[in-house]
Amino acid sequence: MSDEDEGHGGHVLDDPLRTKGTSFTHDERRELGLLGLLPYAVTTLDEQVARSWGEVRRQATDLDRYIYLRALQDRNERLFYAVLAADVSTALPLVYTPTVAEGCRRFSEIWRRPRGLYLSWPDRDHLREALRNRRQREVDVIVVTDGQRILGIGDQGVGGMGIPVGKLSLYTLIGGIDPARTLPVLLDTGTDNPTLLDDPFYLGWRHHRIGEDDYVAFVEAFVAAVQDELPDVLLQWEDFATPHAHPILERYRDRLLTFNDDIQGTAAVALGALRGATEVAGVPLRDQQVVMLGAGSAGVGVMEMVRQAMVDQGLSADEARARCWIVDVRGLLTTDRDDLSDAQRAFAHDSADVAGWGVDGLPALADVVEHVEVGVLVGLSTAQGAFTETIVRTMAGRVERPIIFPLSNPTDNAEARPADLDDWTDGRALIATGSPFPPLHRDDGEDVPVAQCNNVYIFPAVGLAVTAARATRVTDAMMRAAAGALGAASPALSDPHAPLLPPWADVRRVADDIALAVAKQAVADGVAPAASDDDLRDSVRRTRWEPTYGPG
């Protein structure tokens, strides 16, 4: 080995995308200059996975497990994903909801190594320079947040970076996107969280959030930099506050390949679960009265996709809208309110329609359930316990199989616990949640898993689809195709007692089916090059990255 080559093996060991750790063979160690840098034994990937899961289980808390797994990702990406793939159902809540919420809260405290890009307002004149400093040269997927509305825990400032990092981990684990071609981004425009502003260890820009005009200009500068540097990338917006989420999506959806997971991904997974639920209930979606508690970007997004699905089933736009009811913290959305956004106003009911209810002021959720034969009740409000026993029993007294989805995250924010819903409806409720909950226990000793409406069913498959199909846009029809393919995989379609969504053990296989459906729709919508179904299927298969060790 020449002097200039001396020590080059250490670079391989320190590169998380190339290292194999103790799995390097003796020949590879000599060839790569690793002789003496590793213990003598050569281990297999399976042995490394088993050892890593032993370490995971030895951690005292889920946050400790989260920290360990993130450190493993920083050290050896292929091993990290092999560990997750070995037990998806156990790994998901550790690397994403609900544990990621605590990871975001304590981001500055548990900081280890940089990952992704932090684009801060004080550096606004140097965004292209910062983007060019990325470690990944070719990028297929960017997930970006500004940290203002993280899950159900609010403004986390720079701590919001835990969300893009976690989401992209799932793009790789479930959707097979090469981790070397992903990029998490945090737009640091300050924080209005007083705890963070007073925290001496806070790692973000210690300043209140910038004004609206400056914010819009900053986002525009970011998008322009992305278009210049990475024109073909899929850009996913994540956990933006309601006043920003819809306007950003509408502003850019026709300019680049982009979507908002909170609006469109949440809607698609909820609609997918509804397909199985309405089939079991024996009442098609077009004939259901659907109530949403929560008028944020996610809640409105779900209702818009529900409305579109009703139209697909034969209703007019007005007939579909009349069956959609949205309630926020003030009460029912009605046309006489002056505090609604354009997206919310599209679902406002005429105040005359509810004048005969005898309610002083705006009707609350209980009033809507009392006066409307509600078949579907969905929560995206972060209001813990909002689906009370009285409300649920009233609903269950009107319909045979009430469909109830308390979807707020994290677990403590859920509108109801599945066990209570099951009890209050005498086991008749069809339930899906946003966070993981234990199975329902039946008198005969059977445990029935609770379906989790986790967006992981949707967004990784969308990423795989647009990458494989070389799509240039994400259309509403593509998201509905994702929902349809997910709904077609519902175990409840063949067994009414089964969960509404596939088990986590099947989620990677289901992602391939969803990706194919989305890719076909992209071609049909004219936003991807013409290709046969067989060509698209082959492209999906070739695009999928697997966490294995190759030679060298």
Q: Is the pLDDT of residue 34 over 90?
A: yes
Are the CB atoms for 468 and 540 separated by under 8 Å? yes
Please give the radius of gyration of the chain, using alpha carbons only, rounded to the nearest integer: 24
pLDDT attached to residue 6: 45
How are beta strands 403-406 and 447-448 bridged, if at all?
Answer: unpaired
Residues 413 and 380: beta-carbon distance below 8 Å: no
Q: How many helices (H) and strands (E) does the chain have?
A: 24, 13
For residue 151, what pLDDT band results from cuts at 50, 70 and 90?
confident
Please report whether residue 149 resides in a domain.
no
Query: What is the rounded distance in angstroms from the CA atom of residue 259 to the CA atom of residue 246?
Result: 10
- Count: domains in the chain: 2
DSSP for 342-371, written as a single string: HHHHTTPBPGGGGGGG--SSS--HHHHHHH
Average pLDDT over residues 422-447: 91
Q: What is the DSSP secondary-structure string of 387-411? A: S-HHHHHHHHTT-SS-EEEE--SSG
Residue 161 lies in a domain: no
Question: Residue 4 above 80 pLDDT?
Answer: no
Task: Report in angstroms the alpha-carbon separations of 39 from 26, 43, 83.
Answer: 11, 10, 22
Inter-residue contact 369 to 383 (CB < 8 Å): no
DSSP-derived pairing of the beta strands 447-448 and 440-441 = antiparallel
Q: What pLDDT sits at residue 552? A: 60
pLDDT at 70 over 60: yes
For the beta carbon of residue 476, count every other beta carbon within 10 angstroms.
17
**Which of 399, 434, 456 is a domain's end point?**
456
Q: Looking at the domain assignment, is residue 139 inside a domain? A: no
Q: Give the C-alpha separation, 510 to 532, whole Å.
A: 20
Whether the full predicted model's pTM is greater than 0.85, yes or no, is yes
The backbone torsions φ and ψ at residue 377, rounded to the nearest 5 degrees and listed phi first, read -125, 120
The domain of 69 spans 3-88
Q: Give the per-residue pLDDT at 8.
A: 57
Task: Tell me whether residue 226 is in a domain.
Answer: no
Q: How far is CA 176 from the centre of its chain?
A: 16
Provide, rounded to the nearest whole percent, the portion of the chain with pLDDT above 70: 98
36 contact partners, CB below 8 Å, separation of at least 6: none
Which of 48, 66, 88 terminates a domain? The answer is 88
Domain boundary among 53, 88, 123: 88
Given the structure tokens 């032993």, which residue do they identify?
A: 54
Give per-residue pLDDT as tens, 72-100: 999 999 999 999 999 999 999 999 988 99
Q: Please give the positions annotated as active site.
A: 96, 167
Which pLDDT does position 9 carry in this prediction?
Answer: 62
pLDDT (tens digit per residue) in 493-520? 998 888 999 999 999 999 999 999 999 9
CATH number at residue 271: 3.40.50.720
Q: Which residues contact 121 (CB under 8 A, 6 or more apart)?
A: 188, 189, 190, 205, 207, 210, 214, 218
Q: Which two tokens stand for residue 330?
A: 């003030």
Contact (CB, 8 A) for 146 and 164: no
CB 263 within 8 A of CB 303: no
Tell me the CATH number at 10: 1.20.1370.30
422: tokens are 């099951």
Interatomic CA distance for residues 95 and 84, integer angstroms: 9
pLDDT in tens, 444-485: 778 889 999 999 999 999 999 999 999 999 999 999 999 999
CA pseudo-torsion sign 274, 280, 286, 288: negative
Task: Answer yes or no: is 527 within a domain.
Answer: no
Give the whole-angstrom CA distance, residue 480 versus residue 521.
9
Asked whether residue 29 carries a pLDDT value surpassing 70, the answer given is yes
Q: What is the pLDDT of residues 92-123, one digit of tens each?
A: 999 998 899 999 999 999 999 999 999 999 99
Mean pLDDT over the full length of the chain? 95
Residue 45 located in a structural domain: yes
Query: 249, exposed or middle or buried, with CB in 10 Å at 0-12, 13-18, 19+?
Result: buried
- 521-524 contacts at long range (C-beta below 8 A, 24 or more positions apart): 521/475, 521/477, 521/478, 521/481, 522/465, 522/466, 522/469, 522/471, 522/475, 522/478, 523/469, 524/477
Q: What is the pLDDT of residue 3?
A: 43
Cβ–Cβ contacts within 10 Å for residue 63, how many? 18
Report the C-alpha gap between 97 and 153 in whole angstroms: 12
CB 239 within 8 A of CB 150: yes
Does residue 526 register a pLDDT over 70?
yes
How far is 16 from 180, CA to CA, in rounded Å? 10
Q: C-alpha distances in angstroms, 193 versus 63, 144, 156, 248, 402? A: 22, 20, 7, 23, 39
Is 132:122 a contact under the CB 8 Å cutoff?
Answer: no
In a domain, 75, yes or no: yes
481 in a structural domain:
no
**What's the pLDDT at 5?**
44
pLDDT single digits (tens) 200-222: 999 999 999 999 999 999 999 99
Q: Does the bond joining 98 to the residue before it have cis omega, within 30 degrees of 0?
A: yes
pLDDT, tens digit (0-9, with 9 covering 90-100), for 221-265: 999 999 999 999 999 999 999 899 999 999 999 999 999 999 999
Cβ atoms of 327 and 364 within 8 Å: the answer is: yes
